[in-house]
């Protein structure tokens, strides 16, 4: 019996390569519509869909990463403090956290096309507002809009993976998809400082609208051409993908989802996402400023620190996804990632204490290889265990946890570096957070083994 196609309607049946889905209209009468489907031997999801998924994950953070890379210009131009600059990212992530927590059920019912187009339109609007000459309040509004654009990106892209990508490729594609955030960090951190030299940081934001527009057009074309893969839906219902860890009955080794609501594993992943998110964005937002103020880097070279972290993060997320697809438990990976991130925080501290730039580059590399890879493990665990019809809402809970951490991280770091302890106290706090993550990872590993 063919699996239900979430996001495309209600329950349905398949005839002649067409999935007929049924929903009730406002008066309770059945409404039937056709959704193209294919089996394993039919058309397969190609590079275009992967580009769209990466773009959907990466377009929202462009504003945050771009202005972080030019933070010295933004701060001096607007006459604000470092803490006020950190509040911009806090507003963005707070809006994203609230959106992920509240819009998940709505995203479960909305179509893939509607959600994906909304993501790119909201991101373009945020970049446009940031490019309008105005004061600090207008920039706060732009960052809030950027946060809303990130409210359901993980949910809809995870659902697309379950619906349109075969199980054999799903976890690896998830790693590439999640690297969209670091691809955004790489592109924005390199392009914004260079563009700012020519057209200012506002002009750089306006130019970035072209990227959102191009991705919107590509999304419209690719999603219409990529059918739902029946085999992928059936794989999602029947058990973990090949290479995923599972027991003799086909259940995921990570968790067996509850029939309704969100299971304890979803909330545990959300908690880990929150703590990691604090450390990730406390670092991401302030690394360029740390390099410029504490180590005497130029504006472009300061932006390059974030770009290097993003480049390493791209490869790290793909690599960790490959490791996870071979059946390595999530708890084991989380412990390894937390330990490496803790070492990176120590290297940041040492760089500030000695003023030796090679230590900064080492810290950036460790940060990119570890902390930036955690979301792949979290999303991969969901893909192993959550059915497609509740993927958007479950992903929303975990992503809300991460964005809650993203919200706290920049404002925490901004307050710490504005005080007498400076950046050094900030790096100590980040290291302490990663120590807690390591302990929780150990607890999760013991739980899955038992």
pLDDT (tens digit, 9 = 90+) per residue, 28-39?
444 444 444 444
The answer on pLDDT for 404 being more than 60 is yes
- Judge contact between 407 and 90, C-beta under 8 A: yes
**pLDDT score at 324:** 83
**pLDDT score at 203:** 94
Which one-letter DSSP state was computed for residue 386? -
The answer on pLDDT for 224 being more than 50 is yes
**pLDDT score at 24:** 43
**pLDDT score at 152:** 82
The answer on pLDDT for 76 being more than 70 is yes
Region for residue 9 given its phi and psi (left: phi exceeds 0; alpha: psi -120 to 50; beta: otherwise): left
pLDDT in tens, 200-216: 999 999 999 999 999 99
Q: What percent of the chain has pLDDT over 90?
A: 35
Confidence of residue 176 (pLDDT cuts 50, 70, 90): confident
**pLDDT score at 367:** 94
Walk across the sheet containing 228-229 and list its strands: 12-15, 18-24, 30-38, 228-229
pLDDT in tens, 112-126: 899 999 999 999 999
In this structure, what token pair is assigned to residue 205? Answer: 């934001």
List, in sequence order, every beta strand (DSSP E) within 16-109: 18-24, 30-38
Average pLDDT value for residue range 311-336: 84
HSE, CB side, 13 Å, CA atoms: give it for residue 410.
28
- Give alpha helix (H) positions in 326-390: 330-354, 357-369, 374-385
Higher per-residue pLDDT: 140 or 450: 140
Closest CA to 382 of 220, 246, 240, 242: 240
Confidence of residue 431 (pLDDT cuts 50, 70, 90): very high
**pLDDT score at 262:** 56
Measured CA to CA, the distance from residue 375 to residue 192 in angstroms comes to 25
The answer on pLDDT for 53 being more than 70 is yes
Higher per-residue pLDDT: 232 or 387: 387
**pLDDT score at 449:** 62
Q: What is the pTM of this model?
A: 0.70
Measured CA to CA, the distance from residue 212 to residue 208 in angstroms comes to 7
Higher per-residue pLDDT: 252 or 209: 209
Higher per-residue pLDDT: 128 or 3: 128
Average pLDDT value for residue range 242-266: 45
- How confident is the prediction for the chain on average, in pLDDT? 80
In this structure, what token pair is assigned to residue 358? Answer: 């090679």
């Amino acid at each position: 019996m063919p699996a239900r196609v979430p996001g495309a309607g209600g329950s349905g049946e398949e005839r002649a390569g067409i999935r007929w889905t049924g929903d009730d209209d406002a008066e309770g009468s059945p409404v039937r519509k056709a959704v193209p489907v294919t089996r394993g031997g039919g058309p397969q999801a190609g590079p275009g869909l992967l580009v769209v998924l990466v773009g959907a994950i990466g377009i929202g953070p462009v504003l945050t990463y771009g202005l972080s890379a030019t933070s010295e210009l933004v701060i001096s131009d607007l006459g604000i403090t470092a803490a006020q600059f950190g509040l911009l990212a806090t507003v963005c992530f707070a809006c994203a956290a609230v959106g992920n927590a509240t819009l998940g059920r709505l995203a479960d019912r909305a179509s893939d096309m509607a959600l994906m187009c909304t993501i790119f339109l909201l991101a373009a609007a945020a970049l446009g507002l940031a490019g309008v000459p105005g004061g600090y309040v207008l920039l706060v509004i732009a960052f809030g809009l950027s946060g809303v654009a990130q409210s359901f990106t993980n949910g809809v892209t995870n659902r697309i993976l379950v619906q349109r990508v075969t199980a054999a490729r799903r976890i690896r594609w998830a790693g590439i998809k999640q690297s969209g955030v670091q691809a955004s960090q790489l592109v924005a951190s390199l392009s914004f400082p260079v563009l700012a030299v020519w057209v200012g940081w506002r002009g750089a934001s306006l130019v970035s609208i072209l990227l959102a527009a191009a991705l919107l057009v590509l999304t419209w074309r690719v999603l219409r051409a990529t059918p739902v893969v029946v085999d992928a839906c059936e794989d999602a219902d029947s058990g973990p993908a090949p290479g995923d860890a599972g027991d003799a009955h086909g259940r995921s080794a990570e968790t067996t989802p509850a029939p309704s609501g969100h299971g304890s594993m979803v909330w545990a992943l959300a908690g880990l996402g929150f703590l990691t998110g604090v450390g990730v964005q406390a670092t991401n937002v302030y690394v360029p400023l740390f390099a410029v103020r504490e180590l005497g880097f130029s504006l472009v070279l300061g932006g390059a620190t974030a770009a290097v972290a993003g480049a390493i993060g791209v490869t790290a997320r793909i690599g960790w996804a490959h490791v996870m697809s071979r059946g390595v438990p999530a708890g084991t990976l989380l412990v390894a990632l937390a330990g490496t991130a803790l070492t990176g925080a120590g290297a940041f501290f040492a760089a500030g204490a000695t003023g030796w730039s090679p230590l900064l580059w080492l810290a950036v590399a460790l940060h990119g290889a570890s902390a930036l890879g955690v979301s792949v493990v979290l999303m991969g665990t969901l893909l192993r265990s959550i059915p497609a019809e509740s993927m958007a809402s479950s992903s929303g809970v975990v992503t809300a946890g991460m964005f809650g951490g993203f919200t706290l991280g920049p404002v925490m770091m901004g307050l710490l570096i504005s005080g007498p302890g400076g950046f050094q106290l900030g790096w100590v706090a980040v290291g302490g957070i990663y120590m807690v993550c390591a302990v929780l990872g150990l607890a999760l590993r013991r739980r899955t083994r038992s």
